[in-house]
Amino acid sequence: MLEEGQAPRSRVGRNVIIMVMTFAGNYLASFATFPYLTRVLGPDQFGMLAYAMAMATYATLLTEWGFNLGGPKAVVECKGDARSINALIRSIAGAKACLCAISFVALAVLISFDKHIAASASVMFWSWLGVVANVFTLYWLFQGMERFHLIAAMVIVNRVVTLPLTFLFVHGPGDVAIAAAIQSAGPLVAALFSVAIALRFGVLRWPAVSVRAVVQRLKDGADMFVSTASVSLFGVANTVILASFSGTYQVGLYAAADKIRTVGNMVPAQLAAVLYPRITSTLKTDPKAAARLTLIGATVTLLISIAGVGCISMFSDIAIRIVLGTQYGGASKVLVVLCCSTLFGNLAYFLGLQVLVPFGESRKRSLVMLGAGCFNVGMALILVPRFGAMGAAVSLLIAEAIVLAAYLVSIACADRGRRYFQVALSR
């Protein structure tokens, strides 16, 4: 998988730089449309758009089924064999297509019974294009192959589509459905682009999909799905709860603050994505090197998270006024609390992915996230009716802290976990 003459460390560093620069550019481009949408749509309609995107995110999580984590690992296990990778792509795409169909049926049922969803049915349906795009998106393939420059190309294609169309066709609150369609069009084009790349590489052909292989992929990805879906019990669930109990204005405040928070979360997220396939493959050949890479990654993640929390918290009022406008003044304190949650969430995500998963503790990771996610939902149901967006942010903060504490205890209590980090510290 390595390019000829290139050391593993140099490639890891290059990949981190590529991903950070790519997503930095992506978020800068996003911020060209984000303030525009918050102002043009207004808090209520922007909240409706955020609500529709949150519901689509639930469907995407179902369709993803943990393949974003299990897929790269499976690619590494294929050891570059094009035939095996082809079978892997077909089985995962077949599984995603089945799950996508189920999600669409679920949406139709919800529209029939839920007044909040029915009121924004057109926005919901346009947002669902992003769910369809996920079936064909091959980020996981290129991540496993450590071809992060291809992921960068897909991100750029996505943004090139959405950026100009937003300014051309969204001019007022009545254009919220158009905004949803544009937000979904970018991922759809990027997904088709990824399929074209896979075809050119010769790792994707078009024989019939094996039903048995599809079923096996669904079985293999069940634990990953539980942990991935549990993430939705944090931020996405809070958006839905806010819409149900506090209205779309509070959704707008929460979603806008969360969008800014994502900027401070960018580097740790990309660092984890780049290191995941590298640590997984190195663990089999050089456990000491894998342990040291894990320790370095965890330390860098923590330091960057602290710096991000400090910077965004100090300038939250200014950021809200400049980026969102005066209508979103109530989002300032929400932003501070959400930023503090990243301090726990970033480190927890890194340790869970780079330590528990490679050690075969995927189920434990899933159960911890599921328990903390359910706790977040319970807290949000108590706090949101009284405190709105701030209540949702506080419940998320507490839940993220619980996940980190549980992971640290699990690693410290396991002999293998202690030895792993002792090896990393030894000379």
Amino acid at the residue 38:
T
Q: Are residues 316 and 208 in the same domain?
A: no
Rounded Cα–Cα distance for residues 352 and 348 (Å): 6
Residue 236: per-residue pLDDT: 74
Assess whether 68 and 1 both reside in one domain.
yes
Assess contact for 47 and 38: CB atoms under 8 A. no
My answer on whether 118 and 240 are in the same domain is: no
Taking residue 307's Cβ as centre, other Cβ atoms within 10 Å add up to: 12
Among 194, 220, 246, residue at a domain's last position? 220
Smallest CA-to-CA distance from 36 within 318, 325, 328 is with 325
Which pTM value belongs to this model? 0.64
Report how many domains make up the chain.
2
- Do 112 and 231 lie in one domain? The reply is no
Helix boundaries (H) for 286-357: 287-314, 316-319, 331-351
Same domain membership, residue 39 and residue 5: yes
Same domain, 197 and 155: yes
- Ramachandran area for residue 79 (φ above 0: left; ψ -120 to 50: alpha; else beta): left
**205 and 259 inside one domain:** no
Q: Mean pLDDT for each consecutive 10-residue tract of the chain (427 residues)?
A: 46 63 63 80 84 83 81 81 85 89 85 70 87 88 80 79 88 91 88 87 73 82 71 74 83 82 71 75 81 88 86 78 72 87 88 81 82 91 92 93 92 83 74
Quote the crossing angle between the two packed helices 287-314 and 331-351, to the nearest 10°: 180
Let me know whether 158 and 230 are in one domain: no
Domain stop point among 199, 220, 241: 220
Q: Which residues of 133-156 are buried (b: 16+ CB within 10 A; e: fewer)?
A: bbbbbbbbbbbbbbbbebbbbbbb
Residues 203 and 231 in one domain: no
User: Do 228 and 101 share a domain, yes or no?
Assistant: no
Phi-psi category of residue 392: left, alpha or beta, with phi > 0 → left and psi -120 to 50 → alpha: alpha
How far is Cα 296 from Cα 278, in angstroms, rounded to an integer?
13
pLDDT at 399: 92
d(CA 347, CA 108): 38
- Whether the CB-CB separation of 251 and 243 falls below 8 Å is answered with yes
In this structure, the answer to whether residues 98 and 113 fall within a common structural domain is yes
Write down the pLDDT at residue 57. 81
Of the residues 167, 186, 220, the one at which a domain ends: 220
- pLDDT value, residue 266: 67
Per the structure, the complete domain to which residue 151 belongs is given by 1-220
Q: Same domain for 162 and 79?
A: yes
| Alpha-carbon gap, residue 70 to 228, rounded angstroms | 11
